[in-house]
Amino acid sequence: MDKDSMKDKLKGKFNQLKGDAKEALANATDDAGKKTEAKADKAKGKTQESIGDAKDRMAHQNK
């Protein structure tokens, strides 16, 4: 695993956790705007993680 892919994966996990926190706050306050932000953060995080996984696969194929 290279440094660049690890960075993507960590950023992805962070954004997913941030989305989980926003979702909990949105559910507690019934804030539709925060629910939308939470979904966006989670989607961004999943995408970043996928990019990190793809970089790992590419690095292993090129060895």
pLDDT digits (tens, 9 = 90+) for 13-53: 999 999 999 999 999 999 999 999 999 999 999 999 999 99
What DSSP designation does 31 have? -
Token pair 């629910």 is found at 35
For residue 60, what pLDDT is reported? Answer: 87
User: With bands split at pLDDT 50, 70 and 90, how would you rate the model's confidence at 8?
Assistant: very high
For residue 2, what pLDDT is reported? Answer: 82
- Asked if residue 39 lies in contact with residue 22, where contact means CB atoms within 8 angstroms, the answer is no
pTM of full prediction above 0.85 = yes
Mean pLDDT of 52-56: 94
User: With bands split at pLDDT 50, 70 and 90, how would you rate the model's confidence at 1?
Assistant: low
